[in-house]
Chains A and B, each alone.
Chain A
Amino acid sequence: MEYWLPIVYLAIMGLALLVYVILDGYDLGVGMLLPGATDAEKDLMIASIGPFWDANETWIVLGVGVLLIAFPLAHGIILSSLYIPVTLMLLGLILRGVAFDLRVKGGDHRKALWNRAFFVGSLLASVSQGWMLGAYITGLREDITSLLFAGLIAATLPALYVLLGAAWLLMKSEGELFDKAVRWGRRAMLPMGVALLLVSVATPVVSEAIARRWFSLPNAIGLLPIPLVCALVYGGLFWFLNRPELLRRGYAWLVYAGIVLICVMAALGLAFSIFPDVVMGRMTLWEASASVASLQFTLVGVVITLPMIVFYTIYIYRIFHGKARALSYE
C-alpha cells in the first residue's frame, strides 16, 4: 500500500494533466487564433468550443487537486516556486473565461473588446503554462540558464496549443475558415517542433542521472520507440497539412489524433525521466506523499467517479459532434 498508492496517484495526476493539455489545449489554441479570423469566423470558432471549454479546464483543477491530495508537501514547494507564472496563468484564465460569456452578453459595442480579452487571456495562460513546464523540468532552479530555458519553452509551447486549435477547427469548420485552419496549422508546426525538442533534451541536460538512464544501453533500445514515433508522426503531420483535399474528405481527425499521440509520447518520456521524483532531485513521490488513510479514502471516490466522468464527457462530445453552427442559446 505505502509503495503502490503514491504511484497510482502519480499516474492519475499525469493522466489528468495530459488530458488537460489535449483538451484545453485546443480551446486555448482557438483563442490564440482569434485575431486572424473575420468577425463571423470568430463567432463560429467560439461556438465550436462553447459546450466544452468549461469541462476542459476542470482537468487542470483535477491535476492540481491530485497533487494537493496525494503529495501535499510537493504541492507547496511547486506552487510557491511557480508563484509568478501561476498567477499570470490564473489572470489569463479568468480573463478568457469571462470574456467567453461577456462577448455575447455585454452588448455589441463591447464585443471587439471581449474578443481581444479572449485572445490575450488565452495567450497569457498558454505562455505561463509553458513557463511552468520549463521551470518544472529544470528542477525549479532559479539560475539564469534555467530561467532562459523556461523562457524558451514559454515562447514555443503555445504553438502546440495553436496546432491543436487548428486541428480542432479542421474538424469543426468548412469553407474559408477550414482553409485558414490548414494554413495556421502549417505555421505552428516549426515552433511546436522546437518546443518538443527542447522539452526532450532538458531533463538529460539538467541531470546526469537522467542522461545515464536514457543513454545507457538496454534502456536506450527500449526507449527508442518514443522519439521514433514522435518523429514519424511529426513528418506525417507535415504531409497531411499539405494535402487539404485529403483533410476535407473526412481525414481531418487524423491531424488531431497525431498531435495527441505526440503528447502521449512526450508525457511517457517525461514520466520516465522524472520518476520517482515529484520535485526533481529534491523529493521523491514517497517522501511527498500524504498518509495512507487519506489516499485510500480518496481512491474510493476516484474509482467510482472517474469512469463516470469519462463516460459523460464522451457523451457530451457525441451530442455536439459535427461541424459547428452559429452560437445559439436556444
Chain B
Amino acid sequence: MDWDPFVLARIQFAANISFHILFPAISIGLAWVLFYFRARYTLSGDRAWEYAYYFWVKVFALTFAMGVVSGITMSFQFGTNWPGFMERAGNVAGPLLGYEVLTAFFLEASFLGIMLFGKDRVSNKMHLISAFLVAVGTLLSAFWILSLNSWMQTPAGYSLDEGVVTVESWWRIIFNPSFPYRFFHMTLASLLTSAFLIAGVSAWRARAGLAGPGTWKVLRTGVAIAAVAAPLQIFVGDLHGLNTLEHQPAKVAAMEAIWETQRGAPFTLVALPDGEARKNHLALEIPHAASLILTHRWNGEVRGLDEFIGEHPPVAPVFWSFRVMLAMGVLMLAVAWWGAWSCLRGREPSMPLLRALSWMTFSGWVAVLAGWYVTEIGRQPWIVQGLLRVDSVVADHSSATLTGTLLGYVLLYVFLIFSYMGALRYLSRQEAASLVLVEQGESSGSRQAQEVV
C-alpha cells in the first residue's frame, strides 16, 4: 500500500476529532441539565428528580470518559502528527490549551467523582455544588478550545517573527472575530444534542412501557430546552454565517457552491458540485436567494471560488455538510415545537410524537458533525487561515506507520461507538426506579430502590 502520508495523517486526525466531538457535544449540555435536575430535587424534595439525576449521571459519566480518553489522544496528536503547527503557532496554541487543562480538566474530573460516588459521603449541598462545578468546567473547556479553534479560523492579535507566531494582544487572540459566534453556536448545539438525547431516550422508554414519573419530567425538560434552543440556534447560526462571509469568504463560496463572483447569486438547494469542471451539475436553484441571505440585498455581490483558486476548500463535502446541518436544524425545530405544543396542552404525548422523538435521539450528533465538517473542511487548505498551510506542518511518518495506527484507531472507535450505544440501550431497558414511587407512595420511596429513572 502506498498512500500519501499527508492524506493518511489528515484522515487519522479527522477520524479522531469526529469521534471525540460526539461526546463533548453531549456532555457540555448534559452537565447543565444534571445541575438542573439536582437543583429541582434540592428545591422540591421530589424523589423523581433525584432518580432522573442518578439515571443521567451514569450516562454522563460514560460520555465524559469517552470524551476524556479521545481528547487525550488529540492533545498528543498535535505533537505526533502535526509538529509544525506547534513549532510555528505554539506561542498561541500552547497557552490556550494549557488554560483548558488548568481551569477545566481537573475541575471536571475531580468533582465528577463526588457526583458519582458522593451520595453517603457529602451533604446534598456539596453534591449540588459539585454538579455546578462540573457544569462550569465543561463550559470553560469549551471556551478555551473554541477560542483556539476560532483563532485558527480568524487569527488576530499576533505578529510574525521569522515565520513564528508571536503574541501581541491576548485579548484580541482569545476574543478573535469568529470566537463569540462559534462559542454560542457550539454551546447551543450541545444543549440541543443533549435535549434530544434525554427526550429521545425517555420517549423510547415510554413506548416500551418503562416510564415512571421521573421519565416524564425528563422528557418535558428535553422538549422545553429544545423548543427554546432550536430557534435561537438558527438565529445564531445565521450571524455566524455572516461573520464567516466577512472573514473567510472562500468557505462561504464553497458552502453555497458559487464558482464565480456574481450579483444576484442564486441559492442552490441541491446540486452535484464538480471540482474538475468548476461548476455544478443538476443544480436546483432559487434565484437571487444567496445574495439576499448573505448581503440582504436583491442584487448584492457574492464572491465566488474563482477568486480563491488554489486556496479554497474542496466544494462538494462542504456544500453537502452544510445542507445536512440545515436540514437537521429545521427538523429539530419542527419536532421540538410539536412536542412543546403537545406539552403545553397538558396532554400525555401521543404515540406519533413519542416515535418522532425517539427517532431524533441522536439528531444532535448528525447536525454537530455536519457543522464541524463545514467549518473545518471549509478552512482547508489552511491550518491557520491565511497563515499556515496544513501540508507545511505535517510530521514525516511513513505511510505504513500511519496506515497501521489509523487502522488501530478506527477499529477501536467503531467498537467503542457500538459499545456506547449498547450501554445506553442496556440502561434504557431497565424498568424506571421512579415507578417505585407510584407503587409505594412518595413518602416511603426506599433508598435501596433501583437507581434507574
Chain A residues within CB distance 8 Å of chain B: 50-52, 54-55, 57-58, 60-62, 64-66, 68-70, 72-73, 75-80, 82-84, 86-87, 90-91, 93-95, 97-98, 100-102, 105-107, 110, 290-291, 293-294, 297-298, 301-302, 305-306, 309, 312-313, 316, 319-320, 327-330
Contacts and interface: CB of A to CB of B under 8 A. Distances in A.
A125 B210 CA distance: 41
Contact of A102 (B83, B98, B99, B419): B419
Interface string B413-436: 000100110110011000000000
The 9 A-B residue pairs with the shortest CB-CB distance, nearest first, are A76-B83, A72-B90, A79-B79, A51-B113, A69-B94, A97-B69, A54-B109, A55-B109, A94-B69
Nearest to A90: B73
A52 B114 CA distance: 10
B76 to A, nearest CB: 5
B401 A84 contact: yes
A75 B393 CA distance: 14
Contacts of B277: none
A329 B79 CA distance: 37
Contacts of B118: 51, 319
A61 B75 contact: yes
Contact of A61 (B54, B86, B105, B166): B105
Given A87-B408, A98-B416, A313-B110, A106 B102 contact: no
A52 B110 CA distance: 7
Contacts of B90: 68-69, 72-73, 75, 290, 294
A146 B383 CA distance: 35
B68 A320 contact: no
Nearest to B86: A72
A102 B405 CA distance: 24
B175 to A, nearest CB: 14
A77 B83 contact: yes
A79 B80 contact: yes
B22 to A, nearest CB: 13
B419 A298 contact: no
B87 A72 contact: yes
A94 B73 contact: yes
B101 A58 contact: yes
Contacts of A105: 58, 62, 423, 426-427
B105 A329 contact: no
A94 B416 contact: yes
B96 to A, nearest CB: 9
Nearest to A295: B95
A84 B395 CA distance: 13
B151 to A, nearest CB: 13
Most B CB within 10 A of own CB, among A50, A76, A297: A76
9 contacts: A50-B116, A73-B90, A79-B83, A97-B65, A98-B420, A100-B65, A294-B92, A301-B103, A329-B57
Interface of B: 54, 57-58, 61-62, 64-66, 68-70, 72-73, 75-76, 78-81, 83-84, 86-87, 90-95, 97-99, 101-103, 105-107, 109-114, 116-122, 166-167, 170, 395-397, 401, 405, 408-409, 412, 416, 419-420, 422-423, 426-427, 447, 451
Contacts of A90: 69, 72-73, 76
Most A CB within 10 A of own CB, among B81, B94, B110, B114: B94
Given A51-B116, A87-B408, A98-B420, 17 more contacts: A51-B117, A54-B68, A64-B76, A66-B98, A68-B94, A83-B395, A97-B68, A101-B61, A105-B62, A110-B422, A298-B99, A301-B102, A306-B102, A319-B121, A328-B120, A330-B54, A330-B120
A301 B99 contact: yes
B61 A72 contact: no
A312 B105 contact: no
Given A75-B83, A80-B397, A91-B412, A294 B76 contact: no
Given A72-B91, A80-B395, A57 B99 contact: no
B171 to A, nearest CB: 11
B110 A312 contact: yes
Most A CB within 10 A of own CB, among B79, B86, B105: B79
A28 to B, nearest CB: 14
A49 B122 CA distance: 18
A51 B114 contact: yes
Contacts of A107: 422-423, 426
Contacts of A51: 113-114, 116-118
Contacts of B114: 51, 316, 319
B97 A65 contact: yes
Given A68-B79, A83-B397, A102-B419, A309 B102 contact: yes
A54 to B, nearest CB: 4
B72 A57 contact: yes
A58 B419 contact: no
Nearest to A72: B90
B58 A58 contact: no
A27 to B, nearest CB: 12
Contacts of B113: 50-52, 54-55, 316, 320
A297 B167 contact: yes
B69 A98 contact: yes
A86 to B, nearest CB: 5
B69 A80 contact: no
Contacts of A64: 75-76, 79
Contacts of A319: 114, 118, 121-122
A77 B9 CA distance: 17
A76 B116 contact: no
B57 A95 contact: no
